[in-house]
Homo-oligomer: A and B are copies of this chain.
Amino acid sequence: MKSPLEKARKNPESMKARILAVARRIFGEYGFHGTTTRMIAKEVGIDISTLHYHWGDKNDLYEAVVMDVNNDLGRELLKVEKIVHGSSLEERLNVSIDKMMDYLFDHPEISNLVLLRYFSKTRNEIDVDFKVPEFSGDIARAMGLAKDAKNPSPRSMMKVLSIMNSMHSFVSGENFFRPMLKLDRKNYIRAVKETLKFLLIPAFVLQEGKTKKGGDSPEAPLAKEKKKARPAKTAE
């Protein structure tokens, strides 16, 4: 049986999918409390009751958005890992940064939603599994930081978190940072990639030289795409 999310993804023209897409963007921009169902409905061009008809209440919609974003991010990580599989550590970092930044800059609401989830509370406790632990473990292993993705050391996790945080920060902060730097979008993206490489590559490459013989083992896919997203409440 299909979850509502899958159905919505299947047909991007469906009302349900259109609502989800707009909700992603607006929740990402304004956060949960900063977003009203009326804002979303108006943007889609429908009445709020139509929105509720398709997605239930505001919480349900938000959860669907979060899970949708999770799925996309997981898929992309998997894709990137396949591309860099087998390369040297430096090359893996180089290519991963390029690919991930291109992807995130194309879908900035992903970074927005991830960071808002990290940093901000909601009054009514919404509990959506953001899959950070899984992702982090997989990335850590793919980077050669941990042998076992299921049991990464806190140290490896921290490194992965700082990589992901740095990436998301520059994407989400574009509206704030770019005017300040007086760069156009293209040059901003270039500068971000350059800065991330400047920061990350020396640290990881140096460490590899210091502590290792040849043990960065980049095997196995990055994200396992386990357990499907919990279906959002189906309207009936």
State whether A34 touches B117 (Cβ < 8 A).
Answer: no
In the complex, the 7 A-B pairs of residues with the closest C-beta atoms, listed nearest first: A33-B34, A33-B33, A165-B169, A202-B202, A158-B195, A119-B172, A118-B173
State whether A196 touches B118 (Cβ < 8 A).
Answer: no
Q: Is A83 among interface residues, defined by CB-CB distance under 8 A? A: no
Known: A162-B199, A199-B199. A112 touches B122 (CB 8 A): no
Question: How far apart sit A53 and B182, CA to CA, in the bound complex (Å)?
Answer: 41
State whether B33 touches A31 (Cβ < 8 A).
Answer: yes
0 or 1 for each of A179-223: is its CB under 8 Å from B? (1 = yes): 011110000000110111011111100110000000000000000
State whether B199 touches A200 (Cβ < 8 A).
Answer: yes
Contact of A121 among B34, B162, B191, B202 (CB under 8 A): B34
Copies per complex? Answer: 2
Question: How far apart sit A180 and B191, CA to CA, in the bound complex (Å)?
Answer: 32
Q: Collect the chain B residues with CB atoms within 8 Å of residue A32's CB.
A: 34
Q: Is A21 among interface residues, defined by CB-CB distance under 8 A? A: no
Q: Is A29 among interface residues, defined by CB-CB distance under 8 A? A: yes
Q: Is A95 among interface residues, defined by CB-CB distance under 8 A? A: no
Q: Collect the chain B residues with CB atoms within 8 Å of residue A61's CB.
A: none
Q: Is A232 among interface residues, defined by CB-CB distance under 8 A? A: no
Q: Collect the chain B residues with CB atoms within 8 Å of residue A22's CB.
A: none
Q: Is A103 among interface residues, defined by CB-CB distance under 8 A? A: no
State whether A112 touches B119 (Cβ < 8 A).
Answer: yes
Nearest B residue to A171 via CB reads B119
Q: Collect the chain B residues with CB atoms within 8 Å of residue A157's CB.
A: 180-181
- Given A31-B33, A158-B195, A161-B170, output 17 extra A-B contacts at Cβ < 8 Å: A31-B120, A33-B33, A116-B120, A118-B176, A118-B177, A119-B173, A154-B182, A155-B195, A157-B181, A161-B177, A162-B169, A162-B199, A165-B170, A165-B173, A166-B169, A199-B199, A206-B206
Q: Is A2 among interface residues, defined by CB-CB distance under 8 A? A: no
Q: Is A229 among interface residues, defined by CB-CB distance under 8 A? A: no
Q: Collect the chain B residues with CB atoms within 8 Å of residue A136's CB.
A: 180
0 or 1 for each of A110-151: is its CB under 8 Å from B? (1 = yes): 001001111111110000000011001000000000000000
